[in-house]
Structure 1
Amino acid sequence: MYLRRTPGATGATALFVHGLGGSSTNWTDLAALLAPHGRGLAVDLPGFGFSEPQPDFDFSLDAYAEFLARLVERLGEGRVHLLGNSMGGAISLLLAARRPDLVRTLTLISPAMPDRRPDPRRLSDPMLALAYLPLVGRRARRRLAAYSPRERAEQVIRLCFADPTAFPAHRLDEVAEEYAARLGFAWANPAMSRSTMGIFRTWFARGPASLWAVAPNVSAPALVIWGTHDRVISVSRAVRTASALPRGRLLVLPKTGHVAQMERPEIVAKAVLGMWERAETNEW
């Protein structure tokens, strides 16, 4: 398991959970802004970044949530401020609902909440999703394989940012270097494929297994952040998500895409800190 640590104030720990295809580097800027108020731990989930999965890991959202629970328990620091983006948001939601003893506050940034309604805004480049599906994804995988690591990084930034030109050049270099390194990991593509299927299975779950049924069980103060220009997970799910959380509040950011913590780190940091402060005085 790979953890990216951001030294910070004692007394509070923030745990950052990336989305599908992401890594701990997705939280670098936000973790630095929050550091005066708490130390940061950004994890590479099993199969992503530099975390090699165990042979028996099944890549379901439930398995990821259990992985995070064990991580927080090993830290031995009590409850953490939990922040998750996209798939990481769905995983964080599961953890907060099932283990309230481990979660101090919950921040969900464009969480991967299910919505089976047709929505042309849902994914601007379906190839990125299709590439990791069994059988039907073979052709898309061949197309992706022809891209250089930098071209693939640029493609992801175009998908996830409302204004891709605002993405810092040095950050793009970091993403490209990480993609190049992952080409040497035999477990990387299977992990992506199986995690994609894990999301789809959760989206089609009904009854108590549905994320919509899980959300009302979250007792922690919760902040939902969504960008109006999110082309991956539509902002149309934002109000319902925040309303499903008993202590949930919503912040919608204009001209912002799927990774608000990267595109608008200063605004996100202010909102998160506001929740932390109000949570301490039970004003949230």
Structure 2
Amino acid sequence: MSSTELPSVPPTSVLPKVASVRVAEGERLRSVGLPGVTLTVRSRPPAREGLEPALFVHGLGGSSQNWSALMAGLDGAVASEAVDLPGFGDSPPPDDGNYSITAHARAVIRYLDASARGPVHLFGNSLGGAVSTRVAAVRPDLVRTLTLVSPALPELRVQRTAIPTGLAGLPGVTALFSRLTREWTVEQRVRGVLALCYGDPGRVSPEAFRHAVEELDRRLQLPYFWDALTRSTRGLLSAYTLGGQHGLWRQAERVLAPTLLIYGGRDQLVGFRMAQRAGRAFRDSRLLTLPDAGHVAMMEYPETVAAAFRELLAETADAKPGG
């Protein structure tokens, strides 16, 4: 199962006047209008000309900020961009209210087609891992390599710690949860998210914790915050029930791109046991397991994840004709 990742930044158009979008040093934000959706794209200026493009897709409840540390760690290796999926981060809801895996994948494909950046090195975490798997399966021309961090692919035996996240997709549950937790402070909510997503929440600095609190406080003011979260959870659960060629595991088998799979031993949301199954499903895969990592290894161990991707990059470069 996927999880609510670290709180993300809401659209500036609906924020209080005192609020501002956090942009890390060296990053830029821009808004891209596409048919049916408007996406906010976070980027880092390429360290030099000629770098191959990379695109990063966040998990449920997260934002492009979830990739900032890894993007910085890959300066000089790729030209990095990260998208806020519709309804998350600084992107408004989709025009049609569709938060299915297919709809999120369609948004990513539309952006790649419109920007003409493909094929890209595509990264996905959790929900974003499921979305990226679908993109790589249906549009292999857009994906040079695929890196998945705790991808939310169907599990027969879901971990007990992941059950509350799945229940959020059921009708009425989110509204009930909102009422039951109305007295919770934003700090309490963030601590709960960190405890669920990190192998060791103590790795989060006081400054990062403060930023997370500020961002969640802004997100909770959005009229569509819970709706986007609920509908995306429902969309993920619906994708788990699909069979045949539309099933996520079947699509994983269709992926042609060299794939790096990263799993955390302390992940409470995606079973560590799924690493071996994923390694068998993706035909050209290599597996990195991090025993102490949780659900967001690219945030908890960005240097390690960056090093593993650089190895993939070097390996695939050597495999190219004339490489």
| 2:229 aligns with one of 176, 192, 196 | 192
What letter matches 2:53 in structure 1? T
| 1:52 aligns with one of 92, 110, 117 | 92
Could you tell me which residue of structure 2 aligns to residue 273 of structure 1?
Answer: 310
User: Separation in 2 of the partners of 1:58 and 1:221?
Assistant: 30
Pair 1:97 & 2:105 matched: no
| 1:6 aligns with one of 44, 50, 54 | 44
Could you tell me which residue of structure 2 aligns to residue 80 of structure 1?
Answer: 120
What letter matches 1:141 in structure 2? S
Could you tell me which residue of structure 1 aligns to residue 107 of structure 2?
Answer: 67
What are the equivalent positions in structure 2 for 1:1-284 lying under 5 Å apart? 1-9=39-47, 10=49, 11-120=51-160, 122-123=161-162, 126-282=163-319
| Aligned-pair CA distance for 1:205 | 1.4
Measured at CA, do residues 78 and 137 of structure 1 come closer, stay the same or move farther in structure 2, by a change above 3 Å? closer
Q: Is the 8 A contact 2:168 2:233 kept in 1?
A: no
Identity of aligned residues (%): 40
Q: Is the 8 A contact 1:57 1:63 kept in 2?
A: no
Alignment root-mean-square deviation, CA: 1.6
User: Separation in 2 of the partners of 1:139 and 1:200?
Assistant: 19
Where structure 2 has 5 or more consecutive residues not aligned to the other structure, the ranges are 1-38
1:115-161 residue CA offsets vs partner (Å, 9 max, x unmatched) = 122543x52xx444434531234332223433222221111111000
Measured at CA, do residues 63 and 162 of structure 1 come closer, stay the same or move farther in structure 2, by a change above 3 Å? same
Where structure 1 has 5 or more consecutive residues not aligned to the other structure, the ranges are none
User: Separation in 2 of the partners of 1:212 and 1:115?
Assistant: 10
When normalised by structure 1's length, the TM-score is 0.94
Give SS of 1:54's match: coil
| Aligned-pair CA distance for 1:222 | 0.3
Measured at CA, do residues 79 and 118 of structure 1 come closer, stay the same or move farther in structure 2, by a change above 3 Å? closer
| Aligned-pair CA distance for 1:243 | 1.2
User: Separation in 1 of the partners of 2:99 and 2:319?
Assistant: 36
| Aligned residue pairs, count | 280
Higher helix share: 1
Q: Is the 8 A contact 1:17 1:88 kept in 2?
A: yes
Measured at CA, do residues 272 and 209 of structure 1 come closer, stay the same or move farther in structure 2, by a change above 3 Å? same
Could you tell me which residue of structure 1 aligns to residue 32 of structure 2?
Answer: none
User: Separation in 1 of the partners of 2:255 and 2:57?
Assistant: 17
1:179-220 residue CA offsets vs partner (Å, 9 max, x unmatched) = 111122212211111000001111111222211111111111
